[in-house]
Amino acid sequence: MRMRNQFLAAVGLAALSVGLALPAIAEVTEQDILNDAKTPEDVVTYGLGPQAQRFSSLKTLNRENIKGLVPAWSFSFGGEKQRGQESQALVKDGVLYVTGSYSRLYAVDARTGEKKWEYNARLPEGILPCCDVVNRGAALYKDKVYFGTLDAKLVALDQKTGKVVWRKDIDDFKSGYSYTAAPMIVKGKIITGVSGGEFGVVGRVEARDAETGEIVWKRPVIEGHMGELNGKPSTMTGKTNETWPGDTWKFGGGATWLGGTYDPELNLIYFGTGNPGPWNSALRPGDNKWSASRLAINPDNGEIVWGFQTTPHDGWDYDGVNEFVPFDMQKDGKTVKAGATADRNGFFYVLDRTNGAFLSATPFVSNINWAKGIDENGRPIYDEANRPGDPAKSEDGKKGKSVYATPGFLGGKNWNPIAYSPDTKLFYVPSNEWGMDIWNEPVNYKKGAAYLGAGFTIKPTFEDHIGSLKAIDPATKKVVWEYKNKAPLWAGVLTTAGNLVFTGTPEGFLKAFDAKTGEEVWKFQVGTGVVASPITWEQDGEQWIGVAAGWGGAVPLWGGEVAKTTAGINQGGSFWAFRLPKALASR
């Protein structure tokens, strides 16, 4: 009788829930994703469009009225899980979706800041994240919201309720795999990479059916590894032992930990690949393809269309994972289908995005000394005196020759995304001026153990600043203006048609600059460091700005001496929303 009553109660509850069902949520279509940069009333992609130019056509807010920009609400992520908050939020139909540290996802009323639902991943013991417990964002498609977790899982949630629709393993977290990037939706497929390069995992890009989560294709980025298409082996990446000797390719790194961009016109996905493993380059002679590279991939079958390696035979952890941003460049009276990337190695590259042909590379930080320059083919001209020495050639065999190299291994620019304005024709690059003492040590691969073979100490290049927000003209290769910040810059950048550039600082400020001159025109203190990517959207006829706040990321964990510049900064976990009231917008 008791079971019968429970059953009837359950049936009655189900009927009641159907009877009181809320209006159907407007699905995010493929066209919504492709047009994201042209629809300022929402933000449905990481990067404000698949090209990730992080440019908004909104121009209500400008340098003249920005003093009227005021906080509308602040939403706390709650609990004791503060740490670094690197998420870029999404906004659709009055709902804001933002991820938090420790693999959490929130749906919040975009007008009031009231929480609609929360998903908190149950992380197991023994996760192995490299650089804090961050998450950089989610993806929207149809009636679902997707994000990855630190134990290397991909989760699809119902947009309206936050309930799990499906959950899939990306890989084994006990081997060092994790996931921190925002997924990308391309032609009905959800595209992801992997994190874990410091543990000798092999980087790859893979596509799943967004409805079911089932794998469509896999593309390893290190030569010698076989791809997969529709459940069967497809083609090998490169040729075994062509640029990796012996078995080194089996644990070659190249993690695709930052996610990608997409050019719908060319139907190409662009992914950066991380550092080779181990850091000790003496153990892996050769170019070590395709680590520290940019790859163009066919989203239909996972085949590599072209590759460009920024740091062949990387010996400094310069990585190559930084975002590749498609844009059209005017050069010699012609329009060039280009793409740009600010590399960890300190050079700003412009490539032909149709075929990967090298166009230019310009230093964007000071005192680069690991290379004497870049040759006509885009290959570094190494200064071997500034490559860490082989420990096998040292007296005790335990520590190779230490060198001082610039930039430091955290890079001329790290994960924090650049922005491009088609109005000013400038890229806005959050850079850092630092170098490092670095030396090599012996190391052997062991599953789930750090695979570095190196030691390091980061040091600031200048006494008065480390962070440097630079406006770079990709056509002339000149720095148009620079804003210097005492502490390192670790936040992403947003630019708008209102001639504004937004970014955050570890000191706790969200700041706005004149996009043409670099003059600081507004700032607001959020009470903790800002290391996230700002967004803007139009709501009720007003322009809004939003950013996650919460100090953390790699700098306090790995920064050594430079971390002293951020000592005492409180951690946090919140999202701040600002609005320009209509009455002030018209002044």
- For the chain, the straight-line distance linking the first and the last C-alpha, in angstroms and rounded, comes to 71
Is 136 known to sit in a ligand binding site?
yes
Q: Residue 417 and residue 182: Cα distance in Å, rounded?
A: 12
Spatial contact of 515 and 500, defined as CB atoms under 8 Å apart: yes
The b-or-e profile of 218-239 (16+ CB within 10 A means b, else e) is bbbbbbbbebbbeeeeeeebbe
CB-based contact 576:546 (threshold 8 Å): yes
The string of DSSP letters for 96-130 reads: EEEEETTTEEEEEETTT--EEEEEE--PPTT---S
**Tokens coding 258:** 């930052």
Reduce the DSSP state of residue 6 to 3 states and report it: helix
d(CA 489, CA 140): 28
Q: Is 473 a catalytic residue?
A: no
Q: ∠ CA(237), CA(242), CA(243), 5° rounding?
A: 95
Closest alpha carbon to 303 in 232, 242, 241, 227: 227
Does the annotation place 65 within a ligand binding site? no
Using CA atoms, how far apart are residues 49 and 39, in angstroms rounded to an integer?
Answer: 10
Residue 414, annotated ligand binder? yes
Q: Which two tokens stand for residue 360?
A: 């230019």
Please check if 288 is assigned to a binding site.
Answer: no
CB-based contact 342:365 (threshold 8 Å): no
Q: Which of 525, 556, 536, 434 is nearest to 493 (CA)?
A: 536
Catalytic, out of 132, 287, 317, 319: 317
Q: Find the DSSP H helices in 376-464.
A: none
Q: Is 275 annotated as a binding residue?
A: yes
Beta bridge partners of 138: none
Residue 206 known to bind ligand = no
Q: Which residues are annotated as a binding site for pyrroloquinoline quinone?
A: 86, 136, 180, 414-415
- Which residues have a catalytic role annotated? 317
Q: Which residues are annotated as a binding site for Ca(2+)?
A: 198, 275, 317
